[in-house]
Chain A
Amino acid sequence: MPMLIRWTGQNAVAAEDPFTAVADETDVPRGDVIVSLQRFQTEGQRLIAEGRKVGVRIEPSEAVEDIAADLPNIAVVALAFPKFLQGQAYSSARILRERYRYQGEVRAVGDVLREQAGFMARCGVNAFEAADGSTPREWGHVIGRFRHVYQRAADGRAPAFEERAS
């Protein structure tokens, strides 16, 4: 069972994961669930109406624009990294945070490795299903590696040119 690591903006902490990831062919169990985009589009309203928290899994080739209207009711957007070098999710994360101002959990799932933690966090990912057995402390260390950043992204860090101006 992969461990969920949460990034609070200051610290990386271990977290209980109340969500169950449900495959398309499986019946939806009780409680909070994460389903595929396709399933969300057919059953999402019903699941939410049942009082659960619902999350949507977005594959690299899927568009977060397709759930834009539903974001206020989506508790988690799980961005898939089938292989860690498939980087589409970095764009998805930034669009969620910067364009749609999504406030829920953006979670990285799949081939999620700690050496990419910094990039993910900067793009607005705040939860990680770490696939390499690394600890929250190790994740916090990687995320905090750079004292400065050059460009603005989704994490609110001031870019170097703002530091210079102040």
Chain B
Amino acid sequence: MKALTGSRLADGEAVFLSDGGWVDRFARAQLFADDDAALAAEAHAKTQITVVVDPYLIDVIEVEGGWAPLSYRERVRAMGPTNKLDHGKQAEGGEEFEVLSHAHGAARSKGRVELIKRK
């Protein structure tokens, strides 16, 4: 299962594709079971240069209470810095952050690895 993420151009906030728009909460991200649909969404996102920067696909896994990014790095992006819990998305509180913080481990998302290689 995958989701599509990127950085919002205007302010650099981590955003996630959600039914044609971009949201700043992972909990509302659109999940792609179909790789073709995911790749098509990624290709389209790359044309939205005034909206989002460097979109890439991330792997997501099912965890207790919902879904979470597989990679630790993506969970930090989805939550906020761990040294200041009153900064970042997590500061607004909510069940979704409980869910995210239950996920563990795992390697970098393939989508991120490919992005780095491309650069």
Assess A/B contact in the complex (Cβ within 8 A). Answer: no
Which residues does A use to contact B, with CB under 8 Å? none
Which residues does B use to contact A, with CB under 8 Å? none
